[in-house]
Every structure is written in C-alpha cells, then in structure tokens.
Chain A
C-alpha cells in the first residue's frame, strides 16, 4: 500500500471520528459559568450552538452544593463504549457521576469517578436532563 493510500485511510478514519461526534462541544463549561450567562450555551464541533434549558440548570443547582457548581463540567458526556457490551455507556468525572447516580437513584460510593449505565438508564437520564447531557461514541467503537 502506498504512502498516499495510508494517508487517505487515516484521513477517512479521522473523518469518521469527526462525523460521529460532531455534536460534542469544543469546550465544556462549569455550572457556575452557565448560571451566570443570560443565554447558557456551548459551541459544538460542527459550529452549531447548543443551548441549555434553564430549568435543568436550576435542577442541578439545587442538587449540588454551592462549592460544587464550578467542579461539574457541562454537558455531561455519556460515552457509548462497546468494550462494556452493546448499549452500555460510561460517564466520567466525580461530580458528573454524583448527578447521574442521584437522577437514576443509584447507590455509589463518595469519590467514584466512573459509572457504567445501560440503555434504559440512558433513556431515563436523557428524558430528565436532555440539554445537559450528550451522547458520544467512544474512540474504541470507531477504531475497533
């Protein structure tokens, strides 16, 4: 295979990765930042604006202590990961796990940094927090 073809293949893979996760934001924002904005939003990789519903932000504000508002980064990414099985997803981050566990009524230890959730739970989570969560494909699901 020529160098050009290898490069072409790599480009296709990159494109695949980009296309699969275009709806993810360039940078996440903390809850504190978003609460202070008049129109809370983030910019996605495809250049579109993703706005947060104020009601959902207020819900998170009431759920977390004031010193935790600048520790949680939004939107919360629900990462579909094939290595945990079909339909399984992982949520990373201490605060993010705390929020997800509270919404789903799961019992997790303090300081847990990762949680695995399954398709029905993703449905419940998305129904309650549609704008503050985003589903993403993990790198593995694209490259494997």
Chain B
C-alpha cells in the first residue's frame, strides 16, 4: 500500500497533527455543524414522502386558492436545501481559517526543527 502512495508522509507527522488540540477543535467544530445539519435535513425531507404517502387528504388541503399544502411543502424543500447550503458555506469559512492556522503553526515548527539541527 505504501508503494501505491508515493506522497505518504511519515506516519508520526500525521499522528502529531491528529493529537494537536487545535486540530481536535477543528474536528469538533465541524461535527458540531455537520451532524445536526445532516439530521435536520434528512428528517425534514422524509416528512414529505411520509406525509404525502400516509396523509394524502391532509396534504391536499388547499391554502392559497387551489395551491395545497403538498405543493407548498415540496417548494419549501428547495428553500430548506438552499438555506442549509448557505449556512454551511458560512460555517465552512471559519473551518478554513482554523485549518490554515493549524497548517501554518505546524509548518513553523517543522522548519524550526530543521534549522535547530
């Protein structure tokens, strides 16, 4: 496997970085956004087929003129998807900043080690 991956870095470098507190912060910040967002959209999305499938009469209730709950709820899925995407992009920008800091500090340390030799 190592042969297939010419750019594999020394294992210990990975381990050092993975153990760094800043890296752990980044990972938990990501999880804190991604897991709830994922659960929310899956639940919100599946409400639609479940309601359409099991409560078609309720979904056929007309709200504006002939436009019914089923169609409005379907439309709201588009807004929900775009909304979560927008929120994620905002959150991801802070992840990028954290990641950049981690890379910079580890590079500083690496070059420092070389000079020290």
A and B associate in one complex:
no
A residues near B (Cβ < 8 Å) are: none
